[in-house]
């Protein structure tokens, strides 16, 4: 049996997709959460001196987006063909471009308020464009973004997980995405993970 150990801070952040993949796939792993004040003494142990790092049978792998795709392939969440994988990755990258425009880490309150307001104004249009694009993509008629459940659905859920607490109606312009977000959230294994995971800001 493959042994997994995930290293990250005590946060969801760039490690949460991997945790969700493990939860959905019912895979056991060690969830190593490094306190930020202790990070300097662990930094030199990591391949690129950054987190997350996923250790697979003793080998440390890095780069969050690459890890997400790697683990999604391992557990059958990247579609059936290379074209399927392209559309899934396109969607995931688009969602990440949108979500990190929100000023989560901005410390200046005036700047944060201004950027948050801009996010609220521009994001519905960005989501609508993305929805129109995926409607034209190959689809097998299933209930998820690209028919079957894939990494794209987990990225959509994570978008909502981060953004809805600060912009509670941000998905109202894309009811199709809102519906899928709610469906992912209610999946038994995902719901169980949400219930037991540590409560963190991000």
Number of residues that this document lists for the chain: 202
Beta-strand pair 30-34/59-62: unpaired
pLDDT for 190 equals: 98
Q: What is the pTM assigned to this prediction? A: 0.97
CB 185 within 8 A of CB 164: no
Q: What's the Cα-to-Cα distance from 46 to each of 39, 50, 111, 202, rounded to whole Å?
A: 10, 6, 33, 22
First to last CA, the chain: 31
pLDDT for 139 equals: 75
Residue spans per domain, the chain: 4-75, 82-186
Beta bridge pairs of residue 8: 33
Q: Is the pLDDT of residue 88 over 90?
A: yes
Per-residue model confidence as pLDDT tens digits over 90-110: 999 999 999 999 999 999 999
Instruction: Tell me the CATH number for domain 82-186.
Output: 1.20.1050.10
Per-residue model confidence as pLDDT tens digits over 52-80: 999 999 999 999 999 999 999 999 999 99
pLDDT for 56 equals: 98
Q: Indicate if 82-186 has the same CATH topology as 4-75.
A: no
Domain range 4-75, its CATH number among 3.40.50.300, 3.30.565.10, 3.40.50.2020, 3.40.30.10: 3.40.30.10
Looking at every residue in the chain, the average pLDDT score rounds to 96
Which element (helix H / strand E) includes 81? none
Q: Is the pLDDT of residue 140 over 80?
A: no
What is the C-alpha to C-alpha distance for residues 102 and 115, in angstroms, rounded to an integer? 7
């Amino acid at each position: 049996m493959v042994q997994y150990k995930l290293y990250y801070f005590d946060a969801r952040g760039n490690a949460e997709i991997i945790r969700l993949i493990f939860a959905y796939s019912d895979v056991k792993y060690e969830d190593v959460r490094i306190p930020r004040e202790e990070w300097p003494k662990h930094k030199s142990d990591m391949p690129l001196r950054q987190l997350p790092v996923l250790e697979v049978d003793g080998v440390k792998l890095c780069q969050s987006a690459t890890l997400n795709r790697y683990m999604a392939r391992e557990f059958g969440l990247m579609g059936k063909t290379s074209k399927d994988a392209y559309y899934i990755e396109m969607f995931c990258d688009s969602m990440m471009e949108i979500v990190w425009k929100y000023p989560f880490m901005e410390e200046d309150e005036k700047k944060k308020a201004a950027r948050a307001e801009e996010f609220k104004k521009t994001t519905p249009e960005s989501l609508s464009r993305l929805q129109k694009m995926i409607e034209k993509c190959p689809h097998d008629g299933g209930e998820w973004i690209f028919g079957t459940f894939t990494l794209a659905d987990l990225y959509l859920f994570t978008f909502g997980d981060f953004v809805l607490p600060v912009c509670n109606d941000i998905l109202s312009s894309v009811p199709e995405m809102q519906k899928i977000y709610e469906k992912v959230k209610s999946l038994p294994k995902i719901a169980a993970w949400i219930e037991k995971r540590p409560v963190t800001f991000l």
